[in-house]
Structure 1
Amino acid sequence: MVHEHPTDEPCSTSFPPAVLCPGELTSFSRGGGARTVPLVTRAVGAEVFLSGQTLFEGGAGIALHTHNCPESVTILEGDAIVEIDGTEHHVTRFDTTYVAAGTPHRFRNASATEPMRILWIYASVDATRTLVETGVTSRIDAEHVKTAGDNC
């Protein structure tokens, strides 16, 4: 079933526009050589989706996990290996993935020496991550303990 949203009604309430500069925002360690910079979050008024970037050092990767909502990731820099539901794919600059809620996946830098950067977008401001190995679930926004600025 497709739910159409009337074109004369906004998807959410109004919030002030923001310009977010990743190089000037606080990054948060994801462990294993990966650092995340939150971009569009509740801290800047987001009500519909979350976005941010994660920078992977050479050889870095993140643990196999799932989300409670769809996620799209675009490779901004470097080459990556993405595992989606047990199948590995080599992806490079501007390649984009779409992973449905509940699908196990992970990213790792394909290079041992060069950095790799992704842009991630979650289809909900209430997005969570559940680690496959431990079953531990946490809110994506709870991983970012400081608020983002809005000026470059």
Structure 2
Amino acid sequence: MDNDTLDGASVTISEVVITSTPTGPLTVNSDGTVTVAADTAPGTYTIDYTICEIAVPSNCDTATVTVVIEAQPFKIEVNQMVTPNSDGKNDFLFIRNVDFAFNNTLKIFNRWGVAVYEGIGYNNQNNVFDGRSKGRSTVTQEEYLPSGVYFYIFEYQDINSKNITESGYIYVSK
């Protein structure tokens, strides 16, 4: 209501009634604030509202509010626990928001620096690290790795095509 005036003076909420019809993800509240629905996609949104003087209800005006929702970078988070025991919990390495990690590669190394897993296009669905060896110099390929701490390097491009490398440790437990 900072730009709303009555006879040239600033308006207080106690002097007016604000009404609007929700439009898409926007709602103008009776106190003059605007609510944006959760999970609204990036873009520009507008909503019209009417403001009327309480003392003279026929003294009304309309206005438009424009809200710009900017794209937020998605935080990529690598779960640090893999328990490949088919209980439906942590059976594979879950990477939160992996759908926004474009052109990704994942490498996992044992404590001696030997690659035990190398994958391209990790997706939390059918291309995952499930605790089995897929490296070049490991025990037998497709066998489950021994319990222990492993080091990972996850490389990808973000939504702005910026190259990002994340690394850390995961624990594999049977």
TM-score band w.r.t. shorter chain: under 0.3
Tell me the TM-score normalised to structure 1 length: 0.27
Higher relative contact order (CA 8 A, sep 6+): 1
Tell me the TM-score normalised to structure 2 length: 0.25
